[in-house]
A = this chain, B = another copy of it.
Amino acid sequence: MIQKLIQEIKAKDAPIVVGLDPKLSYIPEEILKKSYTAYGETLEGAADAIFRFNRGIVDAVYDLVPAVKPQVAMYEQFGIPGLMAFKKTIDYCHSKGLLVIGDVKRGDIGSTSESYAIAHLGKIQVGSQTYEPFAEDFATVNPYLGTDGVKPFVDICRKDSKGIFVLVKTSNPSSGELQDRLVNGKPIYEHVADKVYEWGKDCMDGNYSEVGAVIGATYPAVGKQLRQDLPHSYILVPGYGAQGGKGKDLVHFFNPDGLGAIINSSRGIIAAYLQPAYEKFGPEHYADASRQAVLDMKEDIHNALDQALN
């Protein structure tokens, strides 16, 4: 699957993923009104609004980016109807040729992680029939439980040609509390990176592994270091834009050939029209604002890479 992602990144010339992390407060009044009229102020109404908001953005950006990254928590908070909107969003993105990174951050003891891996990347057997429950292409995975919590995901990556990104150094302010603690003089996140290397080395797809790493844009020095330590892993980089990361912070997450990293922006793209720079689009053209934000992000990253790599 990682080669498919690389192919799409090259085809669209954009190492960019759009984080589909909708909140009701991002959704234009007109969309909300229509959904509430149809379904009432219910979880179903909220889920309908979320899906239609997403669809507008996807329609506006699908030709520009290789992938989207829906954050399942934003859907899960609307219960079953929310999760139905999550699934509809995945399917709609696939229908537009986008790859889908399920930002699910699952991880558990072995037998349970296997069920999560099936849920998001694999297939489940029911009697004589087989189903793909959520059918993402990639998923994010939490490493706190160690190898037996991650291995079931890796097994499914190998079997069904899917990919994962393991949390190594997350973008949030307090990520260091645990991840930066030194063990034998080396921060925990580097030990986790060693594991990512180990988990991924027998799960190659061409010159990259199906097992990648999540490293926050907000920690560029860590990105630079781990880019060296994980030569075969793609790095999924959250934290661009709203969380503070800029194009110039990101250059060292990439390999010299411009590959090896994919940068996520969520709020900065999907809620662009609420920001001063894009407010001229207005709520009725929120999706155009998102398109412009993608184009600007693309330019920012290209400029930074051009300066750094040439």
A residues apposed to B, CB below 8 Å? 21, 24, 32, 36, 40-43, 45-46, 71, 73-74, 76-80, 82-84, 87, 105-110, 112-113, 115-116, 118-120, 124-129, 131, 133-134, 142-149, 167, 170-179, 181-183, 188, 191-192, 195, 238
Count chain B CB atoms within 10 A of each CB in A24, A142, A238 and give the residue with the most: A142
Residues from chain B with Cβ under 8 Å of A172 in the complex: 109-110, 145-146, 148-149
Q: How far is the CA of A84 from the CA of B79 in the complex (A)?
A: 9
Whether A146 contacts B107 in the complex (CB less than 8 A), given A76-B133, A191-B181, comes out as no
Q: Are A170 and B145 in contact (CB-based, < 8 A)? A: yes
* A19 shortest CB reach to chain B, Å: 10
A176 CB, min distance to chain B CBs, angstroms: 7
What is the CA–CA distance of A118 and B183 in the complex, to the nearest angstrom?
Answer: 35
- Interchain CB contact under 8 A, B78 and A113: no
Cβ–Cβ contact A73 & B131, under 8 A: no
CB atoms of B175 and A145 under 8 A apart:
yes
Contact of A126 among B43, B144, B192 (CB under 8 A): B43
Q: Which residues of B contact A74 (CB under 8 A)?
A: 112, 115
With both beta carbons as reference points, the residue of chain B lying nearest to A144 in the complex is identified as B144
- Give A170 to B36 CA distance when docked, in angstroms: 44
The answer to whether B167 and A79 have CB atoms under 8 Å apart is no
Q: How far is the CA of A144 from the CA of B188 in the complex (A)?
A: 10
For the complex, give the distance between the alpha carbons of A131 and B129 in Å: 35
CA–CA, A71 and B110, complex, Å:
13
